Structure 1
Amino acid sequence: MPRRTATMLASTLMLIALLCAGVLIPVPYAEMSPGPTVNTLGTHDGEPVLQITGRKTYQADGNLNMTTVRVTSADFRMNLVEAVYGWLDHDTKVVPHDTLYPKGTTEEQSTQQNAEEFSQSQESAKVAALKELGIPVKSWVIVSTVVKGSPAEGRLHAGDVIKAVDGAAVKQPSDVAELVTKHRPGQNVVFTVIPAKEQAAAEKAHKTATKTQDVTLTTTTSADSGAKRAIVGISAGTDHTFPFTIDIKLADVGGPSAGLMFALGIYDKLTPGSLTGGKFVAGTGTIDDNGTVGPIGGIEMKTVGARDKGAQYFLTPADNCAAAAKDTPSGLRLVKVRTIGDALDALKDIRSGNTAALPQCTTKG
């Protein structure tokens, strides 16, 4: 066989071997890409995203789109060829697998966590919007989760209302940990609670639950990487009763990042006129009960997805501004927000045409 032919054959075989290796060898990466965007003022799968009953609502024009990121699943194993393709594609981002899914996280656990965060973001969006409107919301501290095998398992239950710890009134979730950690591991702590069933029955009857019971637990030592402290194995959260019904109908979405846009959509539907003035506004950001907007992941993917759908303005959490401004899609204006109040002020400027007043994102924040 001529040397030239042999060289070409060897090179071809080597290339084939490398391609096969690239396809077969898994790499520890995951991929993020722009996901769907949904107008919180519109419909999704044939029904309104926001459904409000028991209170007068108003027609809202324009778009207040929440944005999403599409990610590969926890059990997906990317190969080298896919990773290289992702790195070369401007509209996708390849990141270490553990960035999205901490080591040991299963697909089921990830899905459950995203669902819980999405549910909590909806509750906080409702509270933030109603507070901004001056509409009272009843709130109380509850047992959010109980750790399996902990002192609280079988004694406290998710949904129990925590009225006091050792006789000290509980006003907010952080009070619970503060009061428990005053003990040394092995000491007893007394929770005064309204059982979840009692609370649910009272809510259904539109009454206030008052029947409490004391539950004595023996604290144990924390097992995480932080300072050793007394714990009972619960996480505390907040539950609310609203003066009318607000339903958010949006399936196949998870995580907390739609909170801001849900809150703005609720506010718009409960007030005359249009927040956007008919403009196409998209955005993202977590929100807490007090209306503070927090950062999210995948901001670069969300701005791309928003612009592809026609968004003109993008409400951006202040802590995400620097990353978003490094590669802003053409024709999209980033607007920095820290609170729901900031977002409402920005929307006022947008609908009035006073865009010079909009707080801008820069590569410095």
Structure 2
Amino acid sequence: MPRRTATMLASLLMLIALLCAGVLIPVPYADMSPGPTVNTIGEHDGEPVLQITGHQTYPTSGHLNMTTVRVTGSQYRMNLVEAVFGWLNHDDLVVPHETVYPDDKTPDQVSQENAEEFSQSQETAKVAALKAVGIKVGSRIVVGSVVKGGPAEGKLHAGDVIKAVDGTEIKRTEDVAKLVTKHKPGEQVTFTVVPVKEAAEAEKAKREPKETRTVVLKTVKAPEDKRAIVGINAAVDHTFPFSIDIKLPDIGGPSAGLMFALGIVDKLTPDDLTGGKFVAGTGTIDDKGVVGPIGGIAMKIVAARDKGARYFLTPKGNCATAAKDTPDGLRLVKVGTIDDALKALEKIRKGDTAGLPRCTTG
């Protein structure tokens, strides 16, 4: 065999071997790419995303789309070829696998955390929206979670309403820890609670709870210091004067909060917030209406552009990153609160877009 032919054959075999290795050898990376976007004032899988009963609603038009990021599954292992293509794809982001799925958490734990964050974002979106339109929202202090193996396990339950500790009325979450830590480890502390089932029934019937329960717990020493604890975390639970259901399964994380809140405001007020325009956005929201930054902003603005959005409501904490590579035809609008977003939407529907707050790289 001529030397030239042998060299070419050897090179070809080497290339084939490298390609096979690239396909077969897994690499510790995950791929993030633009995910689905959903119109919060529209329908998903044949039913309205926002379902409000017990209060007047108004027609809406246009789009208020929440955006998502698609991530490869926790058990999926990319190969080298896929990673290279991901690095070369302008709209994708290849990141270390542990960035998305930390080594100290199981995939189920990550999924559970994402689901909890999504659920919490729905609650804060409702609160922020109702406050924005002047509707009063009730609140109460509840058992947020019970530590496994702690003194409260089996005696207090998540959702129990904490009325008092040692006879002192509870008005804020920090009141619970303050009163418990007045004790020394080993001493008893008395909780007065409304059981979660009774609290739910009373809220549904729009009446005051009829049943309270006294629970006496023996405190123990906190693992990290000498404080007395009972093994619970207190949380704020809000009560609403009418029903607001958000029907959107298979979504995780807190980043849809702002768009849910705006969708609720749109349905509860006669003003058509978008004026028929296609607006998308992202951002967490707290119960005071403050908008927070999120992850994956570059992929979310690409998803919005591809879906047809003309304006993108961008948390001010994400603006500098988003402005570095804004897709053609999409205008980034900086927002820090729900009021900022509502003012921006007013300008958009009136066509007065010159004064919209812009995102800049500086």
Q: TM-score, normalised by structure 2?
A: 0.93
> Tell me, what secondary structure is at the counterpart of 2:208?
coil
- What is the CA distance between 1:357 and its match in structure 2? 1.5
Q: 2:245 and 2:140 mapped to 1: Cα distance? A: 20
CA-CA distance at 1:16 after TM superposition: 2.2
Report the Cα distance in structure 2 between the residues aligned to 1:222 and 1:14, rounded to whole angstroms. 61
The 3-state SS of whatever aligns with 1:273 is: coil
Given that residues 317 and 336 in structure 1 are in contact (C-alpha distance below 8 angstroms), is that contact kept between their aligned partners in structure 2? yes
Cα deviation, residue 205, structure 1: 2.8
Shift in Å at residue 161 of structure 1?
0.8
Distance 1:354 1:118 in 2: 34
Aligned ranges for residues 69-88 of structure 1 at < 5 Å?
Answer: 69-88=69-88
Per the TM alignment, residue 352 of structure 1 is displaced from its structure 2 partner at its CA by 1.7
Specify whether residues 147 and 88 from structure 1 end up closer, same or farther in structure 2 by C-alpha distance, changes over 3 A only.
Answer: same
Q: Determine if the alignment matches structure 1 residue 133 to structure 2 residue 133.
A: yes
Give the direction of change, closer, same or farther, for the CA distance of 1:281–1:85 in structure 2 (3 Å limit): same
Instruction: Give the match's secondary structure for 1:67.
Output: strand
Residues 1:96 and 1:181: Cα distance change in structure 2 (over 3 Å): farther
Displacement of 1:20: 2.2
TM-score calculated relative to the size of structure 1: 0.92
Report what 2:282 is aligned to. 284
CA 1:311–1:221: 2 relative to 1, 3 Å: farther
Structure 1 residue 343 corresponds to structure 2 residue 319: no
198-207 vs 59-68, which deviates more?
198-207
- Per-residue deviation at 1:216? 3.2
SS at match of 2:252: coil
Mark the CA change 1:353 to 1:112 in structure 2 (over 3 Å): closer, same or farther: same
**CA shift at 1:187, angstroms?**
4.8
Shift in alpha-carbon separation, 1:184–1:281, aligned structure 2, 3 A = farther
Distance 1:81 1:231 in 2: 52
**Aligned-partner residue type, residue 309 of structure 1:** K
Report what 1:4 is aligned to.
4
Supply the AA of the counterpart residue of 1:279: K
Question: What number of residue pairs does the alignment pair up?
Answer: 362
SS of alignment partner, residue 158 of structure 1: coil
Secondary structure of residue in 2 paired with 1:58: coil
Contact 1:74–1:105 (CA under 8 A) maintained in structure 2? no
Question: In angstroms, what is the RMSD of aligned CA positions?
Answer: 2.0
Who is 2:17 aligned against? Answer: 17
Q: Distance in 2 between matches of 1:19 and 1:189?
A: 67
Matches within 5 A, 1:245-324: 245-324=243-322
Kindly provide the amino acid, as one letter, of the partner of residue 155 in structure 2.
R
SS of the residue aligned with 1:109?
helix
User: Which ranges in structure 2 are unaligned for 5 or more consecutive residues?
Assistant: none
3-state DSSP class of the match of 1:59? coil
> Is the counterpart of residue 148 in structure 1 residue 133 in structure 2?
no
Alignment of 1:186-201 (within 5 A): 186-201=186-201
> 2: distance between equivalents of 1:166 and 1:214?
10
Quickly say closer, same or farther: Cα 1:94–1:209, change in 2 above 3 A. Answer: same
Change in Cα spacing, 1:292 to 1:87, as seen in structure 2 (3 Å) is same
Equivalent residues of 1:75, 1:106 under 8 A apart: no
Structure-2 separation of matches of 1:228 and 1:357: 56
Q: Check the 8 A contact 1:74/1:106 in 2, yes or no.
A: no
* Structure 1 spans left out of the alignment, 5+ residues: none
Aligned partners of 2:181, 2:125: CA distance in 1, in Å? Answer: 31
Rounded to whole Å, the distance in 2 between the matches of 1:222 and 1:6 is: 73
- Provide closer, same or farther for how the CA distance between residues 6 and 359 of structure 1 changes in structure 2, counting only shifts above 3 A: same
Residue 332 of structure 1 deviates from its aligned partner by 0.9
2:171 paired with 1:171: yes
> For the residues of structure 1 that align with 2:11 and 2:220, how far apart are their CA atoms?
65
Which residue in 1 is equivalent to 2:230?
232
2:354 corresponds, among 334, 342, 356, to 356
Displacement over 6 Å in runs of 4+: none
